[in-house]
Structure 1
């Protein structure tokens, strides 16, 4: 956990960026990211130096070689441990003219000799910190944070990401961390599963999946096969925003994943034959940008569902990317649940009849404020290609632990732990008795189960309001004659008081 003092320092630097003319939160994070990465490279180099001293062997593929760069500046001056002590003007010159070109153009490998997903995305980066004073403030902030702790680095980055307070282009907005955490826990990723977010943004889902594995897989880092898979093959993210790719990659690295596959891709436009049936788990909150022209959509997706709606196309994409037996947890706008177009109905029919639709969690409409007020739900499904849906589990979340206005003030209580508890009961994790109890809960309860036949009879409508029952409190009203008598009595009392008042004024 980062302290209030560190948060205060971050806030000061953030304000300095704004007064310095950089008001885009993503740009602020991106500029801080470059410095965080430089510090990380120096830490890696220092670790290799200590190893070389112990073994008496030279460093293989040093990040900061001996000698000068093409402009004559020693590479050793580019190390964080030396660079941070320069005067602010020299610091600005060295970073602008030497370090940043080094990061952007020359850095193609990390100290372990393997391709770095982050360095791959640096080629389009720009250094936009406008003056030496601001750079000095940011360097002092980063240098004062104990970055040896992976949790501290991750929390620092998460705190910066939380400052993204407006929706991006193409319907992008950041998914709240506690919603991501719930979805990851409900899908329970396992070691050796290939995990993908085809609309990865800042990689929040992939980061949380990694944290879940660290906490729940005791052999993850003692088993060499599991460890290498975790760092090199487990995590895959796609985005077509180069800034998001850099920020997402750095988010993964700061959370201890050495080389995730964070790649440039327009998920709806590119053909998917190479990626088809590749992933064990998909976690996503895809952008809901409205409609696309058919010519901008991959033909293999249109063969699954003929539509221009991005939310439907993304669902079709997820089904295509999953392996048979692969699982998904996906945030969708409410319209997906009850839309009446042919494409809406056909997609829901496909999920229910051709695969296993397991659950629908209805979220409050304020969950994504202040980004957006869109009403959403989370779909939980398993790809089978042979059906398997027997019952669909529904839960209506009333409170996610925060107020549902733009301020999103923390509240004392939250429904989210209850969501997880009842989901685990439905899935059989808590024993047969709890599973049976979950299957028979009344439809006036927050969670209940609906048979597939009933859903099919309702045109595959998945909106919770279609199936829940509202319990009305019985209220006893007085007899109308008694009410009239009471009104007459009150009228007499009012007339009496008015007469007394007139007497006083006479």
Structure 2
């Protein structure tokens, strides 16, 4: 979560671009992204050097023979010289950090640095330095797992009037962390998000894997009560083969927005994934079918767009359900993308779980037949505020067989996450309690610790789900307990009303005397 101080500084940064003539929101986001990347890549290089020293290894800086491309160098120059260095050296440098055949280089090939006002660049650089001082303070206070830069992008997009378009909402970091704890990805997995945005799920999965391979002395409990690495994650990984797999072959994403693809690629690289694989492709399209095969991934983590509708003409012929609702089509696509035994955790609007349309029922049937639907975790209605109050759930399922004629789900585990550790209003303040570790423990021990009584969490057999029209909503099966209400006798209530009326009359007279 961004602090109010950070939000205020982001607003001021946006104002600087607007006042200097860069008024197109997407253009401003791109230019700010490049500057953020330059700033963070300098920090990341310093961190990698510190890791190498910590592990008593040699380190070759990406800035060898390019020291003038460092943020720490050009940010100290006078405005005119800074503009010349950034335009002619630093920006071309960041465009060519990867092999030309890799997605990052391909999508950065046509990127342009259009800040041509030295005063604007100088002001923006100073503003970004202030932002990073606040970000460092947040991390020092225990938010290493938080993708603060991703939060920053989301806030920029929302403030510029593009947030929430077509039902696309950024997933809170702690919910990503919860889903990673449940799915438990490893370095051997091929992990994908078919609508990845800024890459938050992929970053979360990477950090989860690193935490698994971090020495106990380097593990701390974060603000959500879950384990994370203190600073140097993955210190127990000694084989280069493992690092190479994590850096180049583990993380894949797709998004229809080229700006988000560039931001996602930069975001993953800055978190340590050296060759991220994110493509500017609509994963619901015929183009995707031509270029990619089904059954490719062992882990999928996603929060696909809600309530969006796609062009039927360009829609994949493989997504054989009635209708064009994106949240349903993404569930079908995710099922097809999973290899047998592969696992997925997907956030969906709860209407998908009980809706009576043909497409909704077809989708639920595929989830229960082609997969073993393991869990439905009901999230609180404020989980996505301030962007939306839509009630959502997390579906957890394991791929069994494509186009199955039989049911591979025998029973489904339901869990009610009443709150996620944050206030359920627009402010989303951190609360004292930490319910996420309790939810993770309940999921991991669900086989032998789930009560028969249907209160907070319980199993429902497939036969009962079938009898209810494949309804998968938590409230359909929860036991509702009637709590008898007691009231004061009518005479006492009436007496209290008379007393209240007398007090109001007295206050009104005092107010009248004050205003004359």
Normalising TM by the smaller chain, what interval? 0.7 to 0.9
The Cα of 1:120 is off from its aligned counterpart by 2.6
Measured after TM superposition, the shift of residue 238 of structure 1 is 0.5
Counterpart selection for 2:239 from 184, 198, 223: 223
Match for residue 127 of structure 1?
Answer: 113
Select 1:437's aligned residue among 446, 449, 454. 449
The equivalent of 1:160 in structure 2 is: 152
Inter-partner Cα distance in structure 2 for 1:45 and 1:398: 42
2:289 to 258, 269, 272: 272
Answer yes or no: is the 8 Å Cα contact 1:271–1:299 preserved in 2. no
How many Å apart are 1:212 and its aligned residue? 0.3
**1:420 and 2:440 aligned:** yes
- Give the C-alpha shift of residue 7 in structure 1: 8.2
Task: Identify the match of residue 169 of structure 1 among 161, 165, 168.
Answer: 165
**188 and 487 in structure 1: CA distance in 2 versus 1, 3 angstrom threshold:** closer
Using the size of structure 1 for normalisation, the TM-score is 0.77
Alpha-carbon distance in structure 2 between the residues aligned to 1:186 and 1:47: 29
In the aligned structure 1, how far is the partner of 2:376 from the partner of 2:106? 38
Q: Distance in 1 between matches of 2:494 and 2:248?
A: 83
Instruction: State the SS of the aligned residue for 1:290.
Output: coil
Give the counterpart of 1:243 among 241, 248, 259: 259
Alpha-carbon distance in 2 for matches of 1:131, 1:154: 33
**Could you say which residue in structure 2 is the equivalent of 1:390?**
410
After TM superposition, the structure 1 = structure 2 runs for residues 304-319 of structure 1, keeping only pairs within 5 Å, are 305-319=321-335
SS in 2 for 1:133: helix
Look up the match of 2:79. Answer: 88
Could you tell me which residue of structure 1 aligns to residue 423 of structure 2?
Answer: 403
Cα separation, 2, equivalents of 1:451 and 1:129: 61
Pair 1:118–1:293, CA change in 2 (3 A): closer
Q: Work out the CA distance in 1 between the residues paired with 2:395 and 2:428.
A: 24
Structure 1 stretch displaced more, 169-178 or 34-43: 34-43
Q: Please give the TM-score of this superposition, normalised by the length of structure 2.
A: 0.76
Larger Rg: 1
3-state DSSP class of the match of 2:155?
coil
Matches within 5 A, 1:315-394: 315-385=331-401, 387-394=407-414
Q: Which runs of 5+ in 1 are unaligned?
A: 50-58, 66-74, 427-434, 495-506
Question: Is residue 187 of structure 1 aligned with residue 203 of structure 2?
Answer: no
Shift of 1:241: 0.6
Flag the 1:119–1:37 CA change in 2: closer, same or farther, 3 A.
Answer: farther
Q: Please state if 1:35 is matched with 2:35.
A: yes
Root mean square deviation of aligned Cα: 4.0
Relative distance call for 1:415 and 1:130 in structure 2 (3 A) is farther
Count of aligned pairs: 454
Contact 1:271 1:300 in 2 (8 A): no
* Contact kept? 2:16, 2:124, Cα under 8 Å: no
| Residues 119/153 of structure 1: CA separation in 2 closer, same or farther (3 Å cut) | farther
